[in-house]
A = this chain, B = another copy of it.
Amino acid sequence: MVKSDDFDVRQFLPYLLNQAAEASSLEFQKVYKDKYGMLRNEWRVLFHLGIYGQMTASDIGARSQMHKTKISRAVQRLAERRYLTRTRAEADRRVEYLTLTSAGQRVYQDLKATAAEYDAALTDGMSRQEAALLRTMLERLAARP
């Protein structure tokens, strides 16, 4: 049983997380949006493919927690821009393998470099331990069912 009288909702973790997430996303969004006309879901799909190489849409879903309709639409737009190619699996023709084109690879590398810089700026005031602890806690929070 928790007393709510002395609980300050301003300290509510989901609220703080959303504020921090929105603030930091908005700034980085400028990069992939203004430079490449991409949406957040497209950037996410792109970077999953950049990290893991060839994947199916459901692989991405499993890794990213993104809903399959978001993935489907992001993949469509990335395919239109020729950042990735889709290949039907011979063994199971429901499945499509997604692979970055070399143009897609280049965009990924560029965005990754910018992300690295921006991440460094975000963790600027923190000690190395603090930054590491923050990431660990965020991962734990994201993973909880």
Contacts and interface: CB of A to CB of B under 8 A. Distances in A.
Contact of A51 (B3, B9, B137): B9
Interface in A1-31: 2-4, 7-25, 28
A9 B107 CA distance: 14
Interface string A103-138: 000000100110111111011011000100111011
Contacts of A141: 20, 23-24, 122
- Copies in the assembly, this chain: 2
A140 interface: yes
Interface residues of A, number: 53
Interface of A: 2-4, 7-25, 28, 44, 47, 50-51, 65, 109, 112-113, 115-120, 122-123, 125-126, 130, 133-135, 137-144
